[in-house]
Structure 1
Amino acid sequence: MSKKTPLTRAVTMKDVARHAGVSRTAVSLVLNDRFDVTLASETRERVMSAAAELGYRPNAGARALAQQRSDWYGLVTEIVTAPFAVDVIKGAQDRAMADEKYLLIASTESDPVAESAAIERLLEQRVEGLIYAATWHRGVTVPDVAREVPTVLVNCFDIEGRFPAVVPDERAGGHRATSRLLEAGHRRVGFINLDRGIPAAIGRREGYLAALEEAGIAPDAELEVTGHATADSGFTAAEELLDLAEPPTAIFCANDRMAMGAYDAIKERGMRIPEDVAVIGFDNQELIAGYLRPSLTTVALPFEQMGAMGVDLLAAITAGESTGTNTVTVDCPLLERSSV
């Protein structure tokens, strides 16, 4: 029977002190970046050299206890593998690392019990603050335990109004999409919206109506159709619009999946995009918008920017700045492709 290789013992400050021929106190002062105590530069160099030779790594847990800070933020989200969640994580992680902070990420799979447990585990790791991110914009109820540290919500808002939040500017995005179609000369602009009541549907519709009003165009109820966020519903809604006695010459779809369905409805009638009907989507789902033919002009949801802004807010709060519980909106840019 082969012998098991024993685990290598972690190198301690005592080991570094012995190797460098200095006191443990000197090692602690050097490795904890204490410059308020005078030490000879030669001593500092010997300690750093010995630590490198021995492969010393600081005990993060002990240091967090001593300094009452860990340099870690916790990020809690429903599904870390969802494309949009990945973008939030990237934005947050890049901004955190620029400030020499790091993220501990926990996936909760939309399970309230798992959510509370994940936050508890992150708090056990002494994270300095939490980012609570959702995969779609909505009101949420955040577990009470999150109040133990600064917490910022991303792509969602606390129904009880206890936490600051970063969300997309849905209204501005809807306005930008509709204005682009109006600028292209269209006067009858159809709108396929999401299910009523959700923040995205409300905001994008407000932007659509505001753009029409600014252009001096009266809203036409016939040109507004509710879809259900799927390609099939987009197809059905587009058919309804195209069956009108005076059909629209442009369609703003409140997400890219519905725009994909609208493409099929338009093409089945032998019509061309954008020559006969222009189409704009929303979300910038790259596997849809970039690969439809013609490629889809769409409004992008600013996930990376929201993740970065969430870290900015969290850093401000942990630094003692007062941000209140306000909701910050992030602009949704228009990505021009070939469908207008």
Structure 2
Amino acid sequence: MPREQVGIRDVAAAAGVSVTTVSHVLNDTPHTRTSEHTKARVRAAAAELGYQPNRLARGLRTRASGMVGLLTEEIATTPHAGRIILGAQEEASRRGLTLAIINSRLNTDPEVETPEVQAFIDRQADGIIYATVYHDEVVTPDELHVVPAVLIGARDREGEIPSVMPDERGGAASVVDLLVRKGHRRIAFAATSVDVPATRGRLQGYRDGMLAAGLDPDEFVVEAVSEASGGYEATIGLLDHGRDPATRPTAVFCYNDRMAMGAYRAAAELGLQVPADVSIVGFDDQDPIAESLFPALTTVALPHYEMGAWAVRTVASLIEGRDEVGLLGAHPVLLDCPIVERASVAPPRA
């Protein structure tokens, strides 16, 4: 008798292959590079374990619905989610696809069914896009291996599902490069201690830029909460405390735009003008903060629209069998985070 609740991961473990390979074999996915020997081994393992694939999921091989499901993990209420959805929606429209959206949360236990993913599968979705809150490694549920799928904002821990993420490290390094080209040598970084990938990426990018310019990457780094209050406290500490104007920072690069808002207040209280006395740069290009500050804030934009569009293009390519999922899943695609130059940066006073 077959044991209960045999999953696709059980078959993969028994056959010594990836979950994606099992999905390809059992669903007869075209244009894969799986050998006949491996296919036989997978089918034998599935038969021995008594694996029963979802009947509707198997029907996806022959019944194209023209629908792509977009699951948003708590980002539907964030300031940037609209750009991801817009990018995905417009790209789907260009390809004649229908985009369906459900707000969800990725379960950290792959053995626990994710009902929102299953809902798309039951409705014959041709592919699924999962957008997550934090840019980190995740364990994907078994259901995401049944149909072509991609991740936005996170990488699959097993390296099997393609993903796209912002190149926050590169974006931060480009800020330092901009400030150095403007003539700044004492560049501070108002960081945060929240342990998320954005924190690590932006700090490392700052350090990369400082080292590339031959500058000390540790002299002017201060940690604070990633809100306006933290930006205020960090900037007060960097620019005040009896610092000689000849040795204090001439530019403050903030972890995000909310901290930059607090940095503006600190500069004003210290009698300093932005950007005449101190240049300030943010990160995120958050609406309406960046454009509403006076002077308008120079900041780094996250490629939300581009990530949404990339995800639809990629999942469409996988649906059509034009790309090999294993090759795409090995490394996340990093999209550029461009600088949006406004009026908060100027050369330092001589």
Q: TM-score range by the shorter chain?
A: 0.7 to 0.9
Secondary structure at the aligned position of 1:232 is classed as helix
Aligned equivalent of 1:257: 258
The change in CA–CA distance for 1:69 and 1:141 in structure 2 (over 3 A counts) is same
Q: Which moved more, 1:127-136 or 1:249-258?
A: 127-136
Secondary structure at the aligned position of 1:222 is classed as coil
Aligned equivalent of 1:71: 66
Aligned equivalent of 1:329: 334
Instruction: Work out the CA distance in 2 between the residues paired with 1:105 and 1:115.
Output: 19
Q: Does 1:240 align with 2:242?
A: no
Q: Which moved more, 1:102-111 or 1:317-326?
A: 102-111
Q: Tell me if structure 1 keeps the 8 A contact 2:108–2:139.
A: no
Aligned equivalent of 2:133, options 127, 132, 135: 135
Q: Tell me if structure 1 keeps the 8 A contact 2:106–2:114.
A: no
Q: Which moved more, 1:258-267 or 1:79-88?
A: 79-88
- The amino acid that maps onto 2:232 is F
Q: Which moved more, 1:158-167 or 1:89-98?
A: 158-167
Secondary structure at the aligned position of 2:211 is classed as helix
Instruction: Work out the CA distance in 2 between the residues paired with 1:268 and 1:198.
Output: 31
Q: Tell me if structure 1 keeps the 8 A contact 2:71–2:130.
A: yes
Instruction: Work out the CA distance in 1 between the residues paired with 2:113 and 2:220.
Output: 41
**Structure 1 unaligned residues grouped into runs of 5+:** 1-60
The change in CA–CA distance for 1:282 and 1:128 in structure 2 (over 3 A counts) is same
Secondary structure at the aligned position of 1:238 is classed as helix
Aligned equivalent of 2:114: 116
Secondary structure at the aligned position of 1:266 is classed as helix
Aligned equivalent of 2:53: none
Instruction: Work out the CA distance in 2 between the residues paired with 1:279 and 1:227.
Output: 16
Sequence identity of aligned pairs in percent? 40
Aligned equivalent of 1:224, options 202, 221, 224: 221
Shift of 1:111: 7.2
Instruction: Work out the CA distance in 2 between the residues paired with 1:175 and 1:93.
Output: 31
Secondary structure at the aligned position of 1:251 is classed as strand
The change in CA–CA distance for 1:106 and 1:192 in structure 2 (over 3 A counts) is same
Instruction: Work out the CA distance in 1 between the residues paired with 2:113 and 2:226.
Output: 26
Secondary structure at the aligned position of 1:192 is classed as strand
Shift of 1:153: 0.4
Instruction: Work out the CA distance in 1 between the residues paired with 2:281 and 2:200.
Output: 18
Instruction: Work out the CA distance in 1 between the residues paired with 2:288 and 2:134.
Output: 18
Aligned equivalent of 1:176: 174
Q: Tell me if structure 1 keeps the 8 A contact 2:150–2:162.
A: yes
Aligned equivalent of 2:27: none
Aligned equivalent of 1:299: 300
Instruction: Work out the CA distance in 2 between the residues paired with 1:161 and 1:313.
Output: 16
- The amino acid that maps onto 1:86 is G
Shift of 1:81: 3.6
Aligned equivalent of 2:319: 318
Aligned equivalent of 1:16: none
Aligned equivalent of 1:339: 344
The change in CA–CA distance for 1:282 and 1:65 in structure 2 (over 3 A counts) is closer
Instruction: Work out the CA distance in 1 between the residues paired with 2:325 and 2:106.
Output: 28
Aligned equivalent of 1:267: 268
Secondary structure at the aligned position of 2:82 is classed as helix
Aligned equivalent of 2:15: none
The change in CA–CA distance for 1:74 and 1:228 in structure 2 (over 3 A counts) is same
Shift of 1:67: 4.5
Q: Tell me if structure 2 keeps the 8 A contact 1:196–1:202.
A: no
Aligned equivalent of 1:146: 144
Instruction: Work out the CA distance in 2 between the residues paired with 1:263 and 1:115.
Output: 47
Secondary structure at the aligned position of 2:130 is classed as strand
Instruction: Work out the CA distance in 2 between the residues paired with 1:100 and 1:213.
Output: 48
The change in CA–CA distance for 1:233 and 1:115 in structure 2 (over 3 A counts) is farther
Instruction: Work out the CA distance in 1 between the residues paired with 2:248 and 2:285.
Output: 26
The change in CA–CA distance for 1:66 and 1:159 in structure 2 (over 3 A counts) is closer
Aligned equivalent of 2:96: 100
Instruction: Work out the CA distance in 2 between the residues paired with 1:120 and 1:73.
Output: 13
Q: Tell me if structure 2 keeps the 8 A contact 1:139–1:159.
A: yes
Q: Tell me if structure 2 keeps the 8 A contact 1:108–1:115.
A: no
Instruction: Work out the CA distance in 2 between the residues paired with 1:254 and 1:323.
Output: 34
Higher relative contact order (CA closer than 8 Å, sequence separation 6+):
2
The change in CA–CA distance for 1:81 and 1:293 in structure 2 (over 3 A counts) is same
Aligned equivalent of 2:48: none
Secondary structure at the aligned position of 2:115 is classed as helix
Shift of 1:110: 6.8
Aligned equivalent of 1:204: 202
- The amino acid that maps onto 2:155 is F
Q: Give TM-score scaled by structure 2 length.
A: 0.74
Q: Tell me if structure 2 keeps the 8 A contact 1:227–1:233.
A: yes
Instruction: Work out the CA distance in 2 between the residues paired with 1:115 and 1:106.
Output: 16
Task: Give the number of equivalent residue pairs.
Answer: 277
